[in-house]
Amino acid sequence: MRLFSSDGSDVLEDVVTTRLALAAARRQPRRQREAIELRYLADFSEDDTAAALGLSNGAVKSHLHRAAKSLRLVLGNDLMEELNDVRP
């Protein structure tokens, strides 16, 4: 059985991709994980993420960059590109 969204994309594949990314994100250092959670899961702006974490915008960008680099090593570039398509 395949699940499809209204636009015909494979919903089950999106769910699996997202779960893999979340599992990998949980293994990141605390600040990187917090930045990922706020910026991408809670959809905070960089400014709001910085304020919530008590960091500068530059520090947030640095944490997000390092986290993305690490996640690419774990998940691969193809999966990271798919995540950009899945994210609301």
- Residue 39 belongs to domain spanning: 11-86
What are the tens digits of pLDDT across the range 13-37?
Answer: 777 777 777 788 888 899 999 998 8
CATH number for the domain that contains residue 58? 1.10.10.10
Q: Is residue 1 part of a domain?
A: no
Which long-range contacts does 14-17 make (Cβ < 8 Å, 24+ apart)? 14/86, 17/79, 17/82, 17/83, 17/86
- Residue among 37, 84, 24 nearest 63 (CA): 37
Check residue 77 and give its pLDDT. 67
Tokens of 86: 């899945």
Q: Is 58 exposed, middle or buried (0-12, 13-18, 19+ CB in 10 A)?
A: exposed
pLDDT tens digit sequence for 61-88: 999 999 888 888 877 766 666 666 655 5
pTM score, two decimals?
0.69
Q: Is residue 4 part of a domain?
A: no
Check whether 1 has a pLDDT greater than 50: no
